[in-house]
Amino acid sequence: MPVVRGTSVDIPTQDGTADAYLAHPGDSAPHPAVLLYMDAFGLRPQLRRMADRLASAGYTVLVPNVFYRHGRAPVVELPDVIDPVRRPEIFAALGPVMQALTPESAMRDAGVYLSCLAASPLADDGPVGLTGYCMGAVLALRTAGTYPERVAAAACFHGGRLATDAADSPHLLADRITAELYFAHADQDPSMTEDQIALLESTLTAAGVTYRSEVYHGAHHGFTQADTAAHDAQAEERHWQALLALLSRTLRPG
């Protein structure tokens, strides 16, 4: 792996200070920027490793702790291998934290994260790519629709409830999205049903969004995360291939 440098950074927001991880190639030159949205388990070694892998491919990657209002990461204590079935207290603690992050506050924060990348000498002056996992997939889709002028690509992996009948469902931002999108759904994921996938796809198609939506058969919610019981090594590697291809064609055109 090429030399990668990772540092902890603090990002001032309207509601406090978001702790974050910034990874970039070791040459310290400006590179295309990627905002990586965490899953519910938060900023931890696993996500730092993922950011480092993206940085080794030539990107400057920011991973914010989107739960910063509840403390610095880790917001809850996590075991080395996360299995919520055997450790139900993990989600019992995280549930209220997740619910407290409203779409309005999350998108206010997103503007700050994007501005942080725009101001960084380690990021080039082009548009940003997004990648999000589980709840982070929702944040990535919302960010693509809220800041279309800043986002060229968004990848959403094992996202839940991306298209529902709720008034603030993320898919309702489709007509504002100009980025190219990629979705990887786990067919063993009850939080993203076939009906929801169909609604998401029909809405994006009607809005003229460029996207690709795939179902990873046999995969469970959280399949990309190597420190969880849901991890699927084959599906994770497929995710990397899809993500890097998306970022290459949108952030490195020509």
Residue-level pLDDT at 253: 63
Percent of the chain topping pLDDT 90: 96
Average pLDDT score, the chain: 97
- Asked if 31 contacts 25 with a C-beta cutoff of 8 angstroms, the reply is yes
pTM of the model as a whole: 0.97
Identify the band that residue 254 occupies on the pLDDT scale cut at 50, 70 and 90: low
- Asked if 19 contacts 39 with a C-beta cutoff of 8 angstroms, the reply is no
Measuring CA to CA, how many Å separate 176 from each of 148, 208, 251? 7, 10, 20
Delineate the domains of the chain, giving CATH numbers in brackets.
4-251 (3.40.50.1820)
Tokens found for residue 14: 């309207």
> With 80 as the cut, is the pLDDT of residue 132 above it?
yes
Q: For the residues of 225-246, what is the DSSP string, one character each? A: -TTBTT--HHHHHHHHHHHHHH
Average pLDDT for residues 2-19, to the nearest whole number?
Answer: 97
Identify the band that residue 100 occupies on the pLDDT scale cut at 50, 70 and 90: very high
> With 90 as the cut, is the pLDDT of residue 125 above it?
yes
> With 60 as the cut, is the pLDDT of residue 247 above it?
yes
State the catalytic residues: 134, 189, 221
Residue-level pLDDT at 252: 80
Tokens found for residue 127: 């548009």
164-167 LR contacts (CB < 8 Å, sep 24+): 164/196
Identify the band that residue 2 occupies on the pLDDT scale cut at 50, 70 and 90: confident
